[in-house]
Structures are given as structure tokens and as C-alpha cells.
């Protein structure tokens, strides 16, 4: 939780976004403080991913603004510079398939930060080692399991030493046995004090590690606050409906796995 007087690292100011006629985001006002671990949840199509993409200028903001480290994203003239301070990890990993894992991780170091190949590889190997995928460094992404690919993808963002890491459903494309694997990595990051913004349906994980939870529906924030508030018995009815459904699905899934 942000202390009084602390500067927010990300500030959403009355943010609005349209895809043609479709109102994807409407008047979002949120603040993310250093060392926050904010979980964003909500049904699909509620604008969670769009929200993340606004933070590093991958969407063109039409209403309001996002302020990242004091810089307005809407009026930013040097987006590349803003972007490498904000890590983004996608659901489907999106490793570059034509490069080895090592080159996936070193590309931005070499081309954005202009490090020499040797320096870049040293930093990359160190990060890959920290997340247990150093032995995959010289393989191509197609040779790795989903969980390993996601860990390499996390390394690719993390190696740039960003101030914030954003995760867009990082475990949704994984087999059940790989999910815990990646959640462990996220937990490790939280413990290291990384500021995190995570879109996920893993409510158990949210309950364990989140400092705050934002619940979205149809492009609006329906409820936000501490996880204690969120999981307490006096809930917003729409949040309740969502939680019931998620937990029901989870139970059904588990029943399938252990009949």
C-alpha cells in the first residue's frame, strides 16, 4: 500500500479508450505505488488487457491520461524510452521463435541499451539463472515447455530492470502443472519488492500475494481496495457473481483432474 506522500509510479487519470464505437475503457482513476502488487480481475472483455496496454502506449489514449514515473503517456514523444522501464508479459509468451532464448533476452539490451554482446549475455545469463532456465539459453523457444517459455519471457522483460512489471494473464495458456511454476516466479518477484500489475483469474494467488485488487467489468472499475475488503462477505453483487463462477470452474477443473 502506498504511504501518504509517496509518489505513485503509475497514475490513471480519468482514462478512456474506444475501439471504434466500442467503449473499451471508461473513466479509470487508479494509482499504483512502488512495491504494490495489484491484481486486476474481471470477466473477459472487461478491458483488463487494454488497461495494461495503455500504460506503455501500445494503445492510443483518447480520453484522460496515464502518468508513468511522472511522464504523460498521452503526450510522450519518446515512447521507446518510457517502455523499457515498464515490463509487459503476455499470455502466450510471444518469444521470438527465430532466436535462441538467450538472444530473446539480450536483443533489447543490445539494441535499446546499446550494451556489447558480451555484457548483454552476462546479464541475460544471470537473470535466466535466477529463474531456473539457464540450461535453456541456447535452445529455440519451440523446444521449451510452456512454463519454461513463460519464464524466459519474464526474464526478457526483467533483464531491462524495469520499475514496474505488468502481466497479462500469465498462466492462462499453461497446462495446470505449469501454472504453479510460473506463480512461484511471480511470488519471488513480489518478495523482491517489484511493483506488479497482474491480470489473472488465479484468485487463490490474488488472495495470497496481492496488496490490492481491482475488479473490472465492461471497461469500468466496479470495485477496488484491499484484498481483505474484496474477499470479505460484504461484497458488491457483481463481484460476488464473478467470484462464484471462478471458484465453481476451479472446483470443476479439480474434480476432472482428481475424480
Contact residues: other proteins, CB under 8 A: 53, 56, 58, 79-81, 83-84, 86-88, 90, 92, 94, 96-98, 107-108, 111-112, 140-142, 153, 156-157, 160
Nearer to other proteins among residue 140 and residue 231 (C-beta): 140
Closest CA to 246 of 213, 211, 197: 213
CA 254 → CA 44, 177, 249, 251, 257, distances in Å?
A: 22, 12, 9, 5, 5
Nearer to other proteins among residue 156 and residue 212 (C-beta): 156
- Tell me the CB-side half-sphere exposure of residue 63, using CA atoms within 13 A: 14
CA distance 185 to 132: 10
Nearer to other proteins among residue 99 and residue 134 (C-beta): 99
Closest distance of CB 153 from other proteins, Å: 8
Closest distance of CB 211 from other proteins, Å: 24
Closest distance of CB 68 from other proteins, Å: 13
Nearer to other proteins among residue 143 and residue 188 (C-beta): 143
Closest distance of CB 111 from other proteins, Å: 6
CA distance 68 to 82: 8
Closest distance of CB 99 from other proteins, Å: 8
Nearer to other proteins among residue 51 and residue 153 (C-beta): 153
Angle at 200 between CA 196 and CA 206, to 5 degrees: 70
* Sign of the dihedral through C-alpha 166, 32, 161, 125: negative
Coil, strand or helix: which one is 139? coil
Coil, strand or helix: which one is 131? coil
Amino acid at each position: 500500500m502506498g504511504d501518504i506522500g509517496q509518489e505513485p509510479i503509475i497514475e490513471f487519470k480519468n482514462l478512456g479508450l474506444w475501439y471504434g464505437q466500442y467503449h473499451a475503457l471508461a473513466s479509470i482513476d487508479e494509482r499504483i505505488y512502488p512495491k504494490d502488487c495489484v491484481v486486476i480481475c474481471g470477466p473477459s472483455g472487461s478491458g483488463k488487457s487494454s488497461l495494461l496496454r495503455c500504460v506503455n502506449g501500445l494503445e492510443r489514449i483518447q480520453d484522460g491520461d496515464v502518468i508513468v514515473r511522472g511522464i504523460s503517456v498521452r503526450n510522450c514523444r519518446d515512447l521507446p524510452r518510457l517502455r523499457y522501464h515498464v515490463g509487459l508479459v503476455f499470455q502466450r509468451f510471444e518469444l521470438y521463435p527465430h532466436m535462441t532464448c538467450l538472444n530473446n533476452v539480450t536483443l533489447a539490451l543490445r539494441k535499446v541499451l546499446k550494451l556489447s554482446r558480451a555484457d548483454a549475455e552476462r546479464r541475460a545469463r544471470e537473470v535466466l539463472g535466477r529463474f531456473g532456465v539457464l540450461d535453456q539459453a541456447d535452445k529455440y523457444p519451440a523446444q521449451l515447455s510452456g512454463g519454461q517459455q513463460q519464464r524466459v519471457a519474464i526474464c526478457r522483460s526483467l533483464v531491462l530492470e524495469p520499475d514496474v512489471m505488468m502481466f497479462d494473464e500469465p498462466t492462462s495458456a499453461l497446462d495446470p502443472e505449469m501454472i504453479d511454476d510460473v506463480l512461484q516466479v511471480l511470488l519471488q518477484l513480489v518478495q523482491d519488492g517489484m511493483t506488479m500489475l497482474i491480470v489473472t483469474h488465479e484468485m487463490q494467488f490474488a488472495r495470497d500475494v496481492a496488496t490490492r485488487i481491482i475488479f473490472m467489468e465492461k471497461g469500468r472499475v466496479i470495485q477496488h481496495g484491499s484484498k481483505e475488503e474484496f474477499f470479505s462477505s460484504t461484497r458488491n453483487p457483481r463481484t460476488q457473481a464473478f467470484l462464484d463462477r471462478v471458484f465453481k470452474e476451479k472446483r470443476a477443473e479439480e474434480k476432472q483432474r482428481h475424480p
